[in-house]
Homo-oligomer: A and B are copies of this chain.
């Protein structure tokens, strides 16, 4: 017994007429008669009484009609549900992101598009620093990570979403805060620094260290903190200077001034990171949309 058989039987039971049912099914009448006959043989009893040019259901046929409809409905429902899920039109999408990412227009814009295109996907956003996104990505607890550059295990793959210059964060009342002109890293390194602690897990710290090390500079850290907002606050209070991606310019705080960096390699990136293989369809769609947003 196959679903086709059930579809055929339901058609005949509804039309009570083999030829009409066959036309409805888009097949010719003889195979339909044969299929019904085979079904009756398999079940071991008549489902239809073919009498004097009239077709009627037996008691068994009545019962089977109900049951067959039920089975077909369930099968169709299963197909629909799984199809939607498999096509990434439902289900969920779990995205990790760092603090700085919502400051750029790219992510909000992408999320808006994605929501419009896939309104039935349950979108779960998790604010996590770069390091803390890696384990969930590996374990399948996160589908996509949006993070600063980091050393990734080979199971993860990434591409650059945003490339932005670094800017100096200085106190407006301080010596360096007197101007808006570009500043070199060497100049900046003369000042006491407020920066992330290694425990903060951000990829920016690595970049920071590399940049200064390449120039033989060792800035004096006066305070290690956990988050960029704290950095900016402490700069505002005059504790020292800092170096952050340009998107933090969106954070306006009294007494804080952002100055461009003249060094050409003082740039930072935002990565989209994902498991190298076996992306969920939802994640594939998200990546598709984010790529469109970058291109457009």
Where the two chains meet, the residues of A that have a C-beta atom closer than 8 Å to any C-beta of B are 1-4, 6, 40, 42-47, 49, 51, 58-60, 63-64, 67-68, 70-71, 74-75, 77-79, 81-83, 85-88, 91, 277-278, 280-281
User: Which residues in B have their C-beta under 8 angstroms from that of A45?
Assistant: 82-83, 85-88, 281
Contact B58 A67 (CB under 8 A): no
* Selected contact of A49 from candidates B1, B83, B278, B281, CB within 8 Å: B278
CB distance from A32 to the nearest CB of B (A): 17
Contact B44 A75 (CB under 8 A): no
Question: With A43-B83, A85-B45, A278-B49 known to touch, is A68 a contact of B78 (CB < 8 Å)?
Answer: yes
Contact B81 A46 (CB under 8 A): no
User: Which residues in B have their C-beta under 8 angstroms from that of A40?
Assistant: 86
User: Which residues in B have their C-beta under 8 angstroms from that of A47?
Assistant: 82, 86
* Selected contact of A60 from candidates B51, B67, B85, CB within 8 Å: B85
User: Which residues in B have their C-beta under 8 angstroms from that of A78?
Assistant: 64, 67-68, 70-71
Give A1's nearest chain B residue, CB to CB. Answer: B79
Give A277's nearest chain B residue, CB to CB. Answer: B51
Closest A-B pairs by Cβ, 4 of them? A45-B86, A67-B78, A60-B86, A64-B82
User: Which residues in B have their C-beta under 8 angstroms from that of A44?
Assistant: 83, 86-87
* Selected contact of A67 from candidates B63, B81, B87, B278, CB within 8 Å: B81
Contact B71 A85 (CB under 8 A): no
Cα-based distance from A71 to B86 in the complex (angstroms): 19
Q: Can you identify 10 A-B contacts, CB atoms within 8 angstroms? A: A43-B82, A44-B86, A44-B87, A45-B281, A51-B278, A59-B91, A63-B85, A64-B78, A67-B81, A71-B71
Question: With A45-B88, A59-B280, A60-B85 known to touch, is A74 a contact of B79 (CB < 8 Å)?
Answer: no
Contact A59 B85 (CB under 8 A): yes
Question: With A45-B87, A86-B45 known to touch, is A81 a contact of B63 (CB < 8 Å)?
Answer: yes
CB distance from A47 to the nearest CB of B (A): 7
Cα-based distance from A280 to B60 in the complex (angstroms): 10
Cα-based distance from A151 to B190 in the complex (angstroms): 123
Cα-based distance from A198 to B229 in the complex (angstroms): 108
